[in-house]
């Protein structure tokens, strides 16, 4: 079934279904192009017309707020990952031991993670606010390293 794309509506059309209801500016596309465009759209891309009116998939623009939120999520995952490496469910679980002296090992780990978490977030906030981050990986490499307490 032939497929078409309309730059004016941003929609796809099939001649057998839409017949005379197709806009005048439709351009024919292959089944493979249609499938690839739908897959790209499912991955978060926008489908737009290029200079000739043909559909292309382009990454959606990200607002500064969306970028900052994504970076914050990555920072929290990084902090939680350090806690999981020590056997805790997440950083909050580990930090809950910081004021508990019953098991010195857990208390030392909780204190170390709590102090490191503060340094990580302070650094991350400054880097993000200053626009000094190119990607999640770039941000993570610029954060303070965690040094677990000696056993």
pLDDT digits (tens, 9 = 90+) for 90-112: 999 999 999 999 999 999 999 99
Q: Are 79 and 48 contained in the same domain? A: no
Q: Give the residue ranges of DSSP H helices in the chain.
A: 15-18, 31-42, 64-85, 91-95, 104-129, 136-142
Let me know if residue 68 belongs to a domain: yes
Q: Are 88 and 133 contained in the same domain? A: yes
Q: Hey, is 12 helix, strand or coil?
A: strand
Give the bridge partners for 11, in sequence order: 6
Q: What is the pLDDT of residues 20-48, one digit of tens each?
A: 889 999 999 999 999 999 999 998 899 99
CA distance 21 to 42: 26
Q: Are 99 and 71 contained in the same domain? A: yes
Q: Are 69 and 53 contained in the same domain? A: no
Closest CA to 31 of 49, 58, 5: 5
- End position of a domain, from candidates 21, 40, 59: 59
Pair of tokens at residue 9: 């509506």
Produce one character per residue of 45-80: b if its CB has 16 or more CB atoms within 10 Å, e if not.
Answer: eebebeeeeebbbeeeeeeeeeebeebeebbbebbb
What's the whole-number average pLDDT of the chain? 93
For the full predicted model, state whether its pTM sits above 0.85. no
CA distance 118 to 111: 11
Q: Are 75 and 26 contained in the same domain? A: no
- 23: Cβ contacts below 8 Å, ≥ 6 apart: 6, 8, 9, 13
Stretch 17-22: mean pLDDT:
88
Let me know if residue 132 belongs to a domain: yes
Let me know if residue 148 belongs to a domain: no
Q: Are 77 and 52 contained in the same domain? A: no
pLDDT value for 74 = 96
Give the bridge partners for 3, in sequence order: 14, 29
Stretch 109-124: mean pLDDT:
98
Domain count, the chain: 2
Q: What is the pLDDT of residues 75-90, one digit of tens each?
A: 999 999 999 999 999 9
Let me know if residue 149 belongs to a domain: no
Let me know if residue 46 belongs to a domain: yes
pLDDT value for 68 = 87
């Amino acid at each position: 079934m032939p497929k078409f794309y309309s730059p004016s509506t941003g929609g796809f059309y099939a001649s057998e279904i839409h017949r005379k209801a197709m806009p005048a500016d439709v351009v024919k596309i292959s089944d493979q192009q249609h499938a690839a465009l739908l897959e790209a759209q499912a991955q978060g891309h926008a489908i737009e017309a290029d200079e000739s009116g043909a559909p292309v998939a382009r990454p959606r623009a990200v607002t500064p707020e969306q970028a900052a939120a994504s970076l914050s999520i990555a920072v929290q995952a990084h902090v939680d990952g350090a806690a999981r490496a020590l056997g805790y469910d997440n950083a909050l679980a580990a930090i809950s031991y910081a004021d508990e002296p019953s098991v010195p090992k857990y208390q030392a780990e909780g204190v170390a993670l709590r102090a490191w978490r503060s340094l990580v977030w302070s650094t991350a906030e400054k880097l993000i606010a200053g626009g000094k981050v190119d990607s999640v990986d770039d941000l993570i490499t610029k954060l303070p390293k965690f040094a677990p307490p000696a056993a």
